[in-house]
Amino acid sequence: MDFNFILTIFLSFFFLPLCTLLLLTSSGRRKNLPLPPGTLGWPYIGETLHLYSQNPNVFFASKVKKYGSIFKTHVLGCRCVMISSPAAAKLVLVTKSHLFKPTFPASKERMLGKQAIFFHQGDYHFKLRRLVLRAFAPESVKSIVPEIDSIVVDSLRAWENRLINTFQEMKTFTFNVALLSIFGKEEVLYREDLKRCYYVLEKGYNSMPINLPGTLFHKSMKARKELAQILAKILSLRRENKKEHADLLGSFMEENEGLSDDQIADNIIGVIFAARDTTASVMTWIIKYLAENPTVLEAVTEEQEKIIREKDDKGLTWVHTKNMPITSRVIQETLRVASILSFTFREAVEDVEFEGYLIPKGWKVLPLFRNIHHSPENFPDPTKFDPSRFEVAPKPNTFLPFGNGAHSCPGNELAKLEILVLIHHMTTKYRWSTIGPQNEIHYAPFALPQNGLPIRLFLKNQI
């Protein structure tokens, strides 16, 4: 039996009862209000298995039907309040966001680094977000379209006439784009070392934070230390060259911003984490949905072939990517149907009165993006893949693929750009076929097609 699994169970019986006692103590303070309806499930493990052993829609729908749009539960070792209405999501993420701080599991916080943007509010978070947005704003991102185009072309050539795991290949692709956006063209010097260390690091993101030899967490933390050393070399090289750079690292290194090397390293690792798996998941789903919907694929292909005629053998530009309305709606509908992130974690920073209920300080609050995206009140016939529904703007706070408010994803322009460039080349030059059954969805923890969507990719002139 897996050592990490045994260790997790062992620690649960010793440490979780203490956490539970502390939470119970905090929940009885000050306010004489009831907790939201719901059940906390089994001792220690709560309802984690119920949530992760099936399609999350089943779990969410059954809870909403029984308790309404707000209910309590216990998942991943945390007492939680889940909310499923657009208005409630706006209140937590925007209107009253100061009462609900972002939070992650302890292992992920230590691996990314405690000074990463995800774990902060206030002035420090505002400064980091400004620096990230400056590097990922359209004016900055559009300058690297040729480089992204080159990465796409090289990746597709490597996949030709092969059986590939779409998700794994997309992870490699998005990793290369992330390094380009962070380090510019200099990233090629350390690409393989960065990739090797990060691939070890990411395996421990959801492990128990026990730093003992032999554990997954220990291996990941060793890789994290080596990754920080590589980043220190890159920072030293930048300082020696004394050149200005328009990439994210250049934004972080500006002297008047006053970020330490540790703060820069934590945030670079955090950006890689945020830019990789989620975007790779979206790309994987798009490939699946286009294969399953030939009419949509034909419309996208016609749109992309028109762009080829317009650019007249010249390279793809930012202007071209802004003239892809059908393809953009396919991306939006994929983000809605697949709902890569089922929810996000927030934590109450004080006792909060919410819709007549008490949310105790320290409890997690989870806006349910997947439930909002799959509500027939927000999107009629929600399970149907229908990009045309985005010809009309969705109702406010019903479409939240990048979150909302001060902690919404600052890299969404880059993510959309790399997806558009990939679709352009795939639909105009290639055809693909899925291999094996595709009836199941895997959640690990992102929603993924079965087995990462195995496909074979062929040049059009080979068919």
Q: Is 425 exposed, middle or buried (0-12, 13-18, 19+ CB in 10 A)?
A: middle
Measured over the CA atoms of residue 118, residue 119, residue 122 and residue 124, the dihedral's sign is negative
- Predicted pLDDT at 345: 87
Residue type, 339: S
pLDDT tier, 110 (very low <50, low <70, confident <90, very high otherwise):
confident
CB atoms within 10 A of CB 174: 26
Task: Give the contacts of 29 (CB within 8 A, at least 6 positions apart).
Answer: 351, 360, 361
Distance CA 454, CA 459 (A): 17
pLDDT in tens, 195-238: 999 999 988 876 777 888 988 889 999 999 999 999 999 999 88
CB atoms within 10 A of CB 156: 18
pLDDT tier, 256 (very low <50, low <70, confident <90, very high otherwise):
confident
Query: Which two three-digit tokens encode residue 292?
Result: 């399953």
Q: Does residue 449 have a cis peptide bond before it, meaning omega lies within 30 degrees of 0?
A: no
Residues 406-414: what's their mean pLDDT?
Answer: 85
Collapse the DSSP code of 24 into the 3-class scheme (helix H, G, I; strand E, B; otherwise coil) and give the result. helix
Least confident of 157-161, 185-189, 230-234, 382-386: 185-189
pLDDT higher than threshold 50 for residue 1: no
Task: Give the contacts of 163 (CB within 8 A, at least 6 positions apart).
Answer: 435, 454, 455, 456
Residue list for the binding site: 409
Residues 336-352: what's their mean pLDDT?
Answer: 90
Query: Which two three-digit tokens encode residue 238?
Result: 């930048």
Where helices occur in 68-144 by DSSP H, the ranges are 86-90, 106-112, 122-136, 138-141
The residues facing 96 across adjacent strands are none
Task: Give the contacts of 11 (CB within 8 A, at least 6 positions apart).
Answer: 208, 210
Measured over the CA atoms of residue 293, residue 295, residue 298 and residue 304, the dihedral's sign is negative
Distance CA 5, CA 111 (A): 19
333 neighbors 390 (Cβ within 8 angstroms): yes
Strands 352-354 and 357-359: antiparallel
Distance CA 259, CA 272 (A): 18
Collapse the DSSP code of 299 into the 3-class scheme (helix H, G, I; strand E, B; otherwise coil) and give the result. helix
Distance CA 92, CA 77 (A): 21
Q: Which of 171, 170, 175 is nearest to 156 (CA)?
A: 170
pLDDT higher than threshold 90 for residue 359: yes
Residue list for the binding site for heme: 409
Element (H, E) at 70: strand 70-75
What is the four-CA torsion angle of 274, 151, 455, 459, rounded to 10 degrees?
160
283 neighbors 455 (Cβ within 8 angstroms): no
Q: Is 275 exposed, middle or buried (0-12, 13-18, 19+ CB in 10 A)?
A: buried
247 neighbors 135 (Cβ within 8 angstroms): yes
pLDDT tier, 85 (very low <50, low <70, confident <90, very high otherwise):
very high
421 neighbors 151 (Cβ within 8 angstroms): no
Distance CA 98, CA 137 (A): 25
- Predicted pLDDT at 117: 87
211 neighbors 217 (Cβ within 8 angstroms): yes
Distance, CA of 212 to chain centre: 29
Distance CA 381, CA 396 (A): 19
- Predicted pLDDT at 331: 97
Helix, strand, coil tally for the chain in percent (to 5): 60, 10, 30
pLDDT higher than threshold 70 for residue 72: yes
Collapse the DSSP code of 409 into the 3-class scheme (helix H, G, I; strand E, B; otherwise coil) and give the result. coil
pLDDT higher than threshold 90 for residue 351: yes
Distance CA 259, CA 128 (A): 9
- Predicted pLDDT at 187: 62
- Predicted pLDDT at 87: 92
pLDDT higher than threshold 70 for residue 76: yes
Residue type, 224: R
